[in-house]
């Protein structure tokens, strides 16, 4: 399954990889001091509106920071944060958060996982492809807000725009609840 997805979305993966230069996690750990009040030093969110980012792929993290910087994705806090980072700092801090390990504990029956999402985001909310983020343990409000942003074109992603356009508000709430209920632990590197 993973392999098929990787092949199907191989073009995207390459685009993502081309964006991101290889970062240095050690330098990134110092930059993470600027992020810790909201995302925690290891990427476990400290405030409800901020997502967990520890253990996301380096490609995804760098792509989102570059999107905030370019204005392709807008948020009052993150736009300011990203504007202050050079591309090298973005690569380094992305490498730091990617060096953490995200571990999900799914207590519900995996058979009930939303099939429309699991191929990319995992039944347990740990992403199966590097372009997609983990959803495990994010707040339902965060997940719902992002789905609406994709649907309304406030956040750009060809893939997610098409998927979100098919969902009713009620379905968005249900899907958000599924992923929000998964317990997430973030384990720092040795
Ligand atoms: C004042 C709080 C705050 C600080 C400081 C902050 N962030 Fe954020 N960050 C947020 C919020 C809130 C969001 C959610 C934005 C949205 O709703 O679109 C976010 C989103 C993100 C995302 C997108 C995650 C995803 O799953 O799509 C990344 C990556 C990120 N932040 C990285 C960082 C990094 C790296 C730093 C430090 C250099 C940082 N942030 C500093 C609050 C903060
Ligand atoms: C074909 C792969 C694929 C499928 C299927 C898919 N997604 Fe996504 N999803 C992605 C990618 C890639 C992104 C990152 C988009 C970007 O670059 O901003 C994403 C981003 C998201 C985000 C933003 C998370 C964050 O941390 O900011 C949410 C929420 C989301 N997807 C929910 C869903 C839900 C719910 C479903 C099922 C209805 C679903 N996705 C199905 C690929 C997929």
Q: Is the pLDDT of residue 13 over 70?
A: no
Q: Is the pLDDT of residue 9 over 60?
A: no
- pLDDT, residue 105, reads 97
- pLDDT, residue 21, reads 74
Per-residue confidence at 8, pLDDT binned at 50, 70, 90? very low
Q: Which atom of ligand 2 is nearest to the CA of 53?
A: 26
Q: What is the mean pLDDT of residues 16-25?
A: 70
Q: What is the mean pLDDT of residues 2-10?
A: 43
- Per residue in 77-104, pLDDT (tens digit) is 999 999 999 999 999 999 999 999 999 9
The domain 2-187: what is its CATH number?
Answer: 1.10.760.10
187 contacts 108 by C-beta, under 8 angstroms: no
Nearest Cα residue to atom 18 of ligand 2: 157
Cα(56) to centroid(ligand 1), Å: 13
Pairing of strands 183-187, 101-105: antiparallel
- Domain spans in the chain, listed from the N-terminal domain onward: 2-187
CA-based angle 32:142:153, to the nearest 5?
A: 105
Q: At what angle do helices 10-19 and 58-70 cross, to 10 degrees?
A: 70
- pLDDT, residue 5, reads 44
For ligand 2, is residue 163 a contact (CB within 6 Å)?
yes
- pLDDT, residue 130, reads 94
Per-residue confidence at 190, pLDDT binned at 50, 70, 90? confident
139 contacts 182 by C-beta, under 8 angstroms: no
Q: Is the pLDDT of residue 11 over 80?
A: no
Q: Which atom of ligand 1 is nearest to the CA of 94?
A: 35
- Per residue in 97-144, pLDDT (tens digit) is 999 999 999 999 999 999 999 999 999 999 999 999 999 999 999 999
For ligand 2, is residue 131 a contact (CB within 6 Å)?
yes
pTM: 0.92
* Integer Cα distance of 58 and 168 in angstroms: 31
* Integer Cα distance of 132 and 36 in angstroms: 23
């Amino acid at each position: 399954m993973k392999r098929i997805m990787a092949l199907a979305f191989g073009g995207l993966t390459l685009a993502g990889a081309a964006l991101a230069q290889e970062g240095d996690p050690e330098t990134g750990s110092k930059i993470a001091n600027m992020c810790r009040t909201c995302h925690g030093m290891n990427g476990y969110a400290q405030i409800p509106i901020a997502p967990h980012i520890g253990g996301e792929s380096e490609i995804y993290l760098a792509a989102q920071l570059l999107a905030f910087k370019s204005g392709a994705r807008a948020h009052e806090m993150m736009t300011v944060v990203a504007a202050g980072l050079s591309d090298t700092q973005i690569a380094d801090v992305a490498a730091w958060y990617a060096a953490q390990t995200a571990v999900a504990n799914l207590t519900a029956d995996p058979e009930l996982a939303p099939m429309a999402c699991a191929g990319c985001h995992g039944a347990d909310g740990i992403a199966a492809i590097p372009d997609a983020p983990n959803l495990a343990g994010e707040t339902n409000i965060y997940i719902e807000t992002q789905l609406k942003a994709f649907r309304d074109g406030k956040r750009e992603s060809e893939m997610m725009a098409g998927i979100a356009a098919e969902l009713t508000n009620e379905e968005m709430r249900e899907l958000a609840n599924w992923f929000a209920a998964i317990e997430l632990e973030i384990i720092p590197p040795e």
